[in-house]
Structure 1
Amino acid sequence: MISARAWDDARRLWGFQRMGHEARACSVAVGLGSHDLGVADTAVGLYRRGMMPLIVFTGATSRTTRERMPRGEAVHYRERALELGVPGAAVLVEPRARNTGENIRFSRAVLEEADVDVSSVLLISKPYEERRAYATARKLWPEVEIVSASTPMSLEEYVDSLQDAHLVFDMLVGAVQRLLIYPEQGFMISQPLPKDVRAAYERLKREGFTSRLVPGAQGGA
C-alpha cells in the first residue's frame, strides 16, 4: 500500500511537471507518441478550438506500446483523430521516433519537407512529461516558441485511467531524474528544481519508485 506521504510527494512532482501554459493559436501542434491516447484526444480538442491548422503525430513503438499500437503510436494517434472528425489533410505522421529528442527532430524534418512555415509549436504530451517535452524542444528547436499542453487532469484521475499507482509514481520519478541528468548530456535545457520538489523526488526513490530511472546515472538509484 502506498503511504499518504508518498501520495503527497507524487502530487508535488505532478504539479511541477505541469508548465501552466495557456493554450493559444500556434503554427502547428506536435503530439508526442506514447501509450496514452489522451494525447491524440487533447490534440483533437485543441484543433476544434482553432488552436492550429495542422497536427503532427510522432512515434514508433516501444515495449509498452508494441501490443496496443502495432502499427505505431503516431499511426494509431492519427487514426484516432480521423475517427473524431479531423480531416486527413490536417494530420501528418512521423513514424520513426523512439524518444523525445527524436520526436522533436524528426517532426521538425517532416514539417520542413512539407514546406510548413513554423514560428510556434503547441507541444502535446502526457501530463507528467510536459516539462521534459518543453525542455527538450527548447534545446533542439530554439528558434520557435513552445507552448506546452496535455490533458487537464489530476494525479488521481491519471492513476485511475491506468489502474496502476506504482507505475505512475515510477514514471514521475523517472521524469524528474531526466530533468537532472539530460541537460548535461545536451538533450534538453537546464531548469531549476525547487528544493521541495527535489526532496519529494528523493523520498520517492527511497520508497522504491525506481523502475523508470536511468540506471547508474546521477540522480538515479
Structure 2
Amino acid sequence: MNQYIHDLAEKLWHYHHLNHTLEKADAILVLCSYDTRVAERGARLFLEGWAPLLIFSGGLGVITRSMWTEPEADQFARIAMELGVPAEHILIENQSTNTGENVQFTRQLLAERNLSPETFIVVQKPYMERRSYVTFRKVWPEKHVIVTSPQATFDEYLSEYSNPDLPPDAVISIMVGDLQRIRLYPTKGFQIPQEIPDDVWAAYETLVEAGYDKHLVRD
C-alpha cells in the first residue's frame, strides 16, 4: 500500500471513530466478527466494572462463514471466560448475521430473560463504531448507547489487531463498504442518518476507483 492510499484510508478510519467517553452502563454488548480483540476489549471493560452484564452477539457473517464453523459469539464468550469473566454474567446470541440482527436478536434474547437494561456500552471494531451506533439507534432508539472499540491507531490495527487471514487491503475494502452503507442504509430504514464530510466521501470515491470495492453493496 502506498502512502497516498494509506492516508485516504486513515481519513475513513477517523470518520468511523466516534470517540465516545466511557460511562458505566447496565450491559456491555459486544458485536462479534472476525476480530477477536473485540472480545478482549469487552471482557476487560466488564472486569473493570463498567457494567454487570456481558452480551456477545454474532453467528457467522459474510466474512466469518468462510473462515469458521463455530459461531462468533461462542468463540468470543470463551475468550472472555478465559480472561476471568464468570459464565453467569455472560449472555450469548449466536444467530445474527449482520449489525441490525445483532441488536434485534439481542433485544429479543433480553426480553425472553425478562431483562431490560436501559444503558449499553457497545463494543465493536474501531472502524465500525459509527455504523454500530447508527444501527443501534435505529433498531432500539429508546435505549441509551455509547460505543467503544479496541484502543489502537490505524497502523497498529492493520499490523497487530486485524485477523491474520485478512490483509490490510481487505480491511480497507471493508472500511470502504461500511462508509457506503452509512450513506445508503438510512433510506432503507436500517440506520439513522449521518453527515459525511465532502473530503471523507472524496477519499471513499478515490479508494473505490483504486480497486477497494470488494465489500460494496451491489444493486
Which TM-score tier does this pair reach, normalised by the shorter chain? over 0.9
Q: Judge conservation of contact 2:61–2:98 (CA < 8 Å) in 1.
A: no
TM-score, normalised to structure 2, is: 0.94
Structure-2 separation of matches of 1:68 and 1:123: 24
Tell me the SS of whatever aligns to 1:212.
Answer: coil
Q: Name the amino acid aligned to 1:203.
A: T
Q: Does 1:149 align with 2:148?
A: yes
Please list the CA deviations of residues 146-172 of structure 1 after superposition, one character each: whole Å capped at 9, or x if unmatched: 100100111111111345111111011
Give aligned-pair identity as a percent: 35
TM-score of the superposed pair, with normalisation by structure 1: 0.94
Note the 1:44-59 alignment, pairs <5 A.
Answer: 44-59=43-58
Q: Assess if the C-alpha contact under 8 Å between 1:69 and 1:76 holds in 2.
A: no
> 2:93 maps to what in 1?
94
Runs of 4 or more off by more than 4 Å in structure 1?
none
Question: Contact conserved, 1:40 with 1:81, CA < 8 A, in 2?
Answer: yes
Partner of 2:213: 210
Match of 1:176 in 2: 179
Quote the residue 1:40 is aligned against.
39
* Offset of residue 111 of structure 1: 1.1
Check conservation: 1:123, 1:148, Cα contact below 8 A.
yes
Q: Secondary structure at the match of 2:102?
A: helix
What is the CA–CA distance in structure 2 between the aligned matches of 1:108 and 1:16, rounded to whole Å? Answer: 28
Spell out, residue by residue over 1:99-157, the C-alpha distance to the aligned partner (whole angstroms, 9 max, x if none).
10000000011111112221111011111100000000000000011100100111111
SS at match of 1:193: coil
Q: Report the counterpart of residue 9 of structure 2 in structure 1.
A: 10
Partner residue in 2 for 1:219: none
3-state DSSP of counterpart to 1:183:
helix
Q: In the alignment, what sits opposite 2:63?
A: 64
- Matched residues in 2 for 1:42 and 1:159: separation? 17
Report the AA paired with residue 140 of structure 2: W
CA distance in 1, matches of 2:63, 2:8: 25
Unaligned runs of 5+ in 2: none
